[in-house]
Amino acid sequence: MRAVITILLVAALASVPLWLRDPYLLNALITTGIFVIGAMSLNLLLGFTGQLSLGHIAFFGIGAYVSALTSLGFDVGLPGDLRLVHAPWPPIAGFVLAILVAGLCGYFVGLLSFRVRGAYFVIVTISFAEVVRLVALNWVELTQGPLALTNIPSIALPLPGFGEMTLRTKMHNYYLVLVVALMAYLLIARLVHSHFGRAMRGLMENETLAVSVGIDVTRTLTIAAVISAAIAGAAGSLYAHYIRIIDPEVFAFINTVTMVIMVISGGKGSLAGPVVGGLIFGLLPVALRPVMAPEAQWIAYGGVLMAILFVLPRGIVPSLAQRFSRRRSNAPALAPVALTETGAKEPA
C-alpha cells in the first residue's frame, strides 16, 4: 500500500515536465525543489536532533560557491607573493567538492558548538553564516564580491560511450533536481530508521538517559551536522549551476528563515514534512503573484503560515497523520506539543 503510493507520487512528480510547458512555472518548481532539498537537510538537524541551525544557508551558499569556483577556475594572490591558480574543472567535480567542503564545514561547526548545544549552536550557526557572507562579499579577487560570479556552466553528465550530456534545458534541470531530492530523501529516511537514527531520537527525547545507555552525544550530533551540511551543499551546487550566477546575497538570513518555515509548517521530525512545507511555501509566492500587489503577497504569506500553525500546530504531515490514525484505530495520542519541547532533565 505504502509502496504503491510512493511509486505513484514519484511518477506524478516525474511526469510534470511532460504536461507543464510554461517555463516560468517550471522554473519555480526547480528552485522550489532545490530549496526543498535544503529544507530536508535542515530537518535532519532540527527535526531529528532538536538542534536549530539558524545559519543553515551558509552550507548551501558554500556549496554554491565551491561548485561555481571549481567549474569556473580562479587565480588569487596569497600572502608572500604566492598565487593560487585553479584551472576550470567539469561542473560534476564541483558538485562532489561542494558536498565534501560543506560537510567539512558542518563538522567544524558541530565540533565547536555541540559541546554546549542549544542556544550556543543557534548563535554559532548564525555567526558562521554571517562570517561566510562577509568573506564572499569582500574577497573580491576570489568571489567577485557584489559583482557576482557569472557564466557558471551548467552541469554536464558524463555518459559512458556517448560523451557528455549538458543539462541546459529546464526539463533536464527539473529531472536533475528531482533525482538529487529523491536520493537525499532516501538517505535521510535510511539514516533515521537506522541504529544511528535511534541514537539521535534518544538524545532528543531524554539526553541524560540516552547518555547513560552509552550514546555518545558529541559524536552523534556532529555526524548529523556533517550529513545535514553536505546535503545542503549539494543543494547549493545545484542552485549555482542552474541559476548560473551567484552573489553574496545567497547567504541572506531570509533564506535560512524560509527553510525553517518550510520545515516547521510541514512538520519537523517527519520525513515528508519539509517536502510538503517546501512545496507550499516555495510555490505560494508564484500562486499569489497574479492576484495580489507585492505588499499584500507577503501579508498573505504570513497569514497562511499562521493559519497552518494554528490549525495544525505540529506541522501539516504529523498533525494529519495523527488525525488519520486516530480515526482508524484508537492509537495513543501524542503528548501535548509543549511537553515534547521541554527536554526533561534529571536534577543532579
Partner 1 sequence: MTARNIAMTIDQVAVRFGGLVAISDMSFTVGEGEIVSLIGPNGAGKTTAFNVMTGFLTPSAGQVTYQGTTLTGLKPHEIADLGLIRTFQRTSVFPNDTVYHNLLIGLHRQGRVRLLDAILGLPGARASERKLRQKAGELIEWVGLERRAHDLAGSLSYGEQRLVGVALALAAEPSMLLLDEPVSGMNASETHRFVELVRSIRDRGITILLVEHDMPMVMTVSDRIVVLNYGRIIAEGTPDVIRNDPAVIEAYLGHGAARA
- What are residue 148's phi and psi, to 5 degrees? 75, 150
For every residue of the chain, which 3-state class applies, written as one string? CHHHHHHHHHHHHHHHHHHCCCHHHHHHHHHHHHHHHHHHHHHHHHCCCCCCCCCHHHHHHHHHHHHHHHHHCEEEEECCCEEEEECCCCHHHHHHHHHHHHHHHHHHHHHHHCCCCCHHHHHHHHHHHHHHHHHHHHCHHHHCHHHCECCCCCCEEEECCCEEEECCCHHHHHHHHHHHHHHHHHHHHHHHCCHHHHHHHHHHHCHHHHHHCCCCHHHHHHHHHHHHHHHHHHHHHHHHHHHCCECHHHHCHHHHHHHHHHHHHHCCCCCCHHHHHHHHHHHHHHHHCCCCCHHHHHHHHHHHHHHHHHHCCCCHHHHHHHHHHHHHCCCCCCCCHHHHHCCCCCCC
Q: Which is nearer to partner 1, 215 or 305 (CB)?
A: 215
- Near partner 1 in 209-268, by CB under 8 A: 209-217, 223
**What is d(CA 244, CA 233) in angstroms, rounded to the nearest whole number?**
16
Closest contact distance (angstroms) between CB of 320 and partner 1 is 18
Which range of residues in 91-99, 137-145, 157-165, 201-209 is near partner 1 by CB under 8 A?
201-209
Q: Which is nearer to partner 1, 9 or 209 (CB)?
A: 209
Contact 23, 30 (CB under 8 A): no
**What is d(CA 273, CA 205) in angstroms, rounded to the nearest whole number?**
19
Closest contact distance (angstroms) between CB of 321 and partner 1 is 14
Q: Which is nearer to partner 1, 150 or 194 (CB)?
A: 194
Closest contact distance (angstroms) between CB of 77 and partner 1 is 40
Closest contact distance (angstroms) between CB of 335 and partner 1 is 6
Please pick, from the candidates 199, 231, 272, 280, the single residue that binds partner 1 as defined by CB under 8 A.
199
Please pick, from the candidates 208, 245, 298, 302, the single residue that binds partner 1 as defined by CB under 8 A.
208
- Near partner 1 in 307-346, by CB under 8 A: 332, 334-335, 340, 344-346
**Residues facing 246 on adjacent strands:** 149
Q: Which is nearer to partner 1, 199 or 235 (CB)?
A: 199
Q: Which is nearer to partner 1, 186 or 245 (CB)?
A: 186
Which range of residues in 94-102, 116-124, 206-214, 306-314 is near partner 1 by CB under 8 A?
206-214
Please pick, from the candidates 9, 205, 325, 326, the single residue that binds partner 1 as defined by CB under 8 A.
205
Please tell me the count of residues contacting partner 1 according to CB under 8 A. 31
- x/- letters, 7..46, toward partner 1 (CB under 8 A): ----------------------------------------
Q: Which is nearer to partner 1, 107 or 196 (CB)?
A: 196
Closest contact distance (angstroms) between CB of 47 and partner 1 is 13
Q: Which residues contact 55 (CB under 8 A, 6 or more apart)?
A: 124, 125, 126, 127, 128, 129, 130, 256
Which range of residues in 46-54, 196-204, 234-242, 313-321 is near partner 1 by CB under 8 A?
196-204
* Residue 6 near partner 1 by CB under 8 A: no
Q: Which is nearer to partner 1, 140 or 211 (CB)?
A: 211
- x/- letters, 176..195, toward partner 1 (CB under 8 A): -----------x--xx--xx
* Residue 198 near partner 1 by CB under 8 A: yes
**Residues facing 165 on adjacent strands:** 157
Which residues of the chain form contacts with partner 1 (CB under 8 A)? 187, 190-191, 194-196, 198-199, 201-202, 205-206, 208-217, 223, 332, 334-335, 340, 344-346, 348
